[in-house]
Structure 1
Amino acid sequence: MNERILISGASIAGLTLAHWLARHGFKPTVVERAPMLRGGGNGVDVRDNAVEVVERMGIMPRIRELAADVQGMKFVDAADRAVARIDIQDPASVEVMRGDLVALLHEATDVEILFGDSIVGLEQDDDGVTVTFDHAPVRRFELVVGADGMHSNVRRLAFGPEEQFIQFKDHYFAFANTDASLGEDRWVTMFNTPGKMTGIYRSGAHSQAKAYFMFRSAPLEYDRRNVAAHKQLISDVFGDDTSWQTKKLLHAALADPDFYFDALGQVQMDSWSNGRIALVGDAAWCASPASGAGAELALVGAYRLAGELAAASGDHRIAFARYDIAHRPLVDKKQQIGPNVRLMVPKTEGGRCVRDVVARSPLMKALSALERRMQARNARPLPEYVR
């Protein structure tokens, strides 16, 4: 029942879902707009139940080998003096570059992938979904899953315009490759002026550093696919800033063809399914990069969706409902990002001073350690789904 399943998006959620569907005996196909796997990206955390998922996939040893080896966050003043440090290392979790994780998931997933194509039409009926592609011939599938990110094309076609579901969180961000000699090795270095943050991500296991920019703003009008316009927006906001290493980072970022810019937003939906069409990953619940939980939610959510379909013998009506009930509590928790944004981008100079004092406090370290212990204690093993 419901054997043929189309997944839109070959990133963390989509490839994880494809892997587990195939393991459970389904016949998944993945369609990906890009002509090949998308490399690059920032560091992502594999933690808590997500560790279980990748261990059961057999790729956890390789993830540990490719760990980014970042020790923590460091806040600096204009003279590059550290004013506060926060150790973020957790022995129970691993940070890995997004592109490395996607490559490992692809290696572990032997399914049909249609690169360089996308869905342009979905028509569902009682027996399945007729899918029209941009290039490939029309095909029939019994189920379709959108794993195509915050700006999901599947969500737009099956649920409605993204404006109904994306909540803007008052900030924009960008990241790009930069000179590896900038910043301290194994640290994320952040410099703040009111409402703005410039940062450097230096992995201890990779030669390439990342430049980060984030700024507070009212909603802006721009073409989401126009990279030149995105670079101009960042240049307009940070171009006159001569403090710290902002000019060097901005120069490198504007020259990077892989420059990435977007709004800080969250996807809020009452349901992640509509008939035979469902969503997973950022398409369903994007918590924003400020949550630090994108990979965790994608891995666990995709595992649960595939597992619930297996447990229900492919009955999507039962499986989609159970998937929503099982995964939504974790999503609701991870979407509480207020403190993270205030930590990274204090709104005022006074707020920055308070942040620095709190970050230096031994209480901050104690609370972080306590939170990790509580999460580990409260974590429940994921079910072993059987078809």
Structure 2
Amino acid sequence: MNERILISGAGIAGLTLAHWLARHGMRPTIVERALELRTGGNGVDVRDDAVTVAERMGLMDRIRELATDVNGMKFVDAADRAVARLDTRDDASVEVMRGDLVALLHEVTEDAEILFGDSIRALTQDDHGVTVTFEHAPARHFDLVIGADGMHSHLRRLAFGPEDRYLRHKDHYFAFADADGRLGEDRWVTMFNTPGKMIGIYRSGNHAQAKAYFIFRSEQLNYDHRDVAQHKRLVTEAFADQPWQPARGLLAAALTDPDFYFDALGQVHMDSWSSGRIALVGDAAWCASPASGAGAELALVGAYRLAGELAAAGRNHRLAFARYETGHRSLVDRKQQISPNVRLMVPKTEGGRCLRDALVRLPLMKAAGAFERRLQARAAEPLPIYHRAA
């Protein structure tokens, strides 16, 4: 019962889910729109229960080897002089580039079938399973279908309805792209602000390639999230007049990067992550936005719980999906509280920037962040160890 499971999306959540489904004796298939693994992206944090999941997958030592080795954030003025620094190092957390984590997860999902360059066109579910029509591959029948295809989930639209029912705009847009590895200070994220805008350089200690970051405050814009040319015009309009000397070079380089990425800071809020034999995991179900710093953590833990609950419930999807939501939703709710992070990175006014810089110079900031993380860790229940039902 419920052995053949289709996963839409070969990102962190999808690959983690496939690994654990296979470990529990199920047969996962992944369909991925891209022609190959998407190995780009920014730094992501593996922390708290996500560390436990990675350890149970045998990956944590390798994740530590690939850690970005970034000390923290440095805020600069228009003359590129440091005005404040915030040390963000945390012994309980490891930051790794998203692409490195995806590559590791792919290595431990070798038994899963992956259909690259394809996507789901339609699906029909009944009491016995889900018939899936693909864009290219022949139609197939699966017992369950799981959407792990991101904030703009195609599967969510097919099974749960239009995106605007669930996606909430959080007043900002962001972009990132490759940057000259000689720019910025090694092992620091260098940030320059004007009111409502941030442009920065991310320099990992363990990677030659730097990243350029752009964030700007805006009401909701009407744009196509797949139209890269339109994205580049929006970012150019927002950052063409920056007085910071490196800004022009960063913007010019970003616009030529074939992996240029742009999107809204948005969150997904749903009353339920499942409908019959179809369920969601990762950003498709609960995107907390990049400003939360919790995307990888939520994906790893959520996928682990979903697969584990299916195993523990004897693959009874109704029981498993309900237990998965009950066990994971409290963590999602906590991680979606992101407002302080956005105010820290992108002050709305010049006065707010000055206040931010003054607060960052106080040792209280790092201590307060560590205290908050300890409180959250204490509030969390231990991550279950799942076994197959007898």
TM-score past 0.5 threshold? yes
Residue 124 (structure 1) aligned with residue 125 (structure 2): yes
Q: CA RMSD in A?
A: 0.9
Task: Give the CA deviation at 1:376.
Answer: 4.0
CA distance in 2, matches of 1:130, 1:192: 51
Under a length normalisation based on structure 2, what TM-score does the superposition of the two structures give?
A: 0.98
SS of the residue aligned with 2:319?
helix
What pairs with 1:258-337 in structure 2 (closer than 5 Å)? Answer: 258-337=259-338
Match of residue 247 from structure 1: 248
Task: Show CA shifts across 1:270-292 (max 9, x none).
Answer: 00000000000000000000000
For residue 260 of structure 2, what is the amino acid of its counterpart?
F
Task: Give the CA deviation at 1:221.
Answer: 1.5
What pairs with 1:38-187 in structure 2 (closer than 5 Å)? Answer: 38-109=38-109, 110-187=111-188
CA distance in 2, matches of 1:362, 1:242: 29
SS of the residue aligned with 1:384?
coil
Match of residue 17 from structure 2: 17
Report which stretch shifted further, 242-251 or 34-43. 242-251
Task: Show CA shifts across 1:60-92 (max 9, x none).
Answer: 111111111111111111111111111111112
Residue 343 (structure 1) aligned with residue 344 (structure 2): yes
CA distance in 2, matches of 1:383, 1:351: 43
Match of residue 231 from structure 2: 230
Aligned residues: 387
Cα pair 1:77 1:244 within 8 Å, conserved: no
Match of residue 190 from structure 2: 189
Cα pair 2:13 2:148 within 8 Å, conserved: yes
CA distance in 1, matches of 2:357, 2:223: 34
Match of residue 207 from structure 2: 206
Report which stretch shifted further, 218-227 or 376-385. 376-385
For residue 124 of structure 1, what is the amino acid of its counterpart?
Q
Under a length normalisation based on structure 1, what TM-score does the superposition of the two structures give?
A: 0.98
SS of the residue aligned with 2:369?
helix
Structure 2: gaps spanning 5 or more residues: none
Match of residue 217 from structure 2: 216
Task: Give the CA deviation at 1:219.
Answer: 1.3
Structure 1: gaps spanning 5 or more residues: none
Q: How much identity, in percent, do the aligned residues show?
A: 76
SS of the residue aligned with 1:28?
strand
Task: Give the CA deviation at 1:374.
Answer: 3.0
Report which stretch shifted further, 241-250 or 318-327. 241-250
Cα pair 1:191 1:244 within 8 Å, conserved: no
SS of the residue aligned with 2:368?
helix
CA distance in 1, matches of 2:154, 2:334: 26
Report which stretch shifted further, 79-88 or 49-58. 79-88
SS of the residue aligned with 1:367?
helix
Match of residue 30 from structure 1: 30
Task: Give the CA deviation at 1:366.
Answer: 1.8
Task: Give the CA deviation at 1:169.
Answer: 0.5
SS of the residue aligned with 2:253?
helix
SS of the residue aligned with 2:164?
helix
Report which stretch shifted further, 233-242 or 179-188. 233-242
For residue 297 of structure 1, what is the amino acid of its counterpart?
L
Task: Give the CA deviation at 1:365.
Answer: 2.1
For residue 370 of structure 2, what is the amino acid of its counterpart?
A
Task: Give the CA deviation at 1:369.
Answer: 2.5
Match of residue 7 from structure 2: 7
For residue 86 of structure 2, what is the amino acid of its counterpart?
I
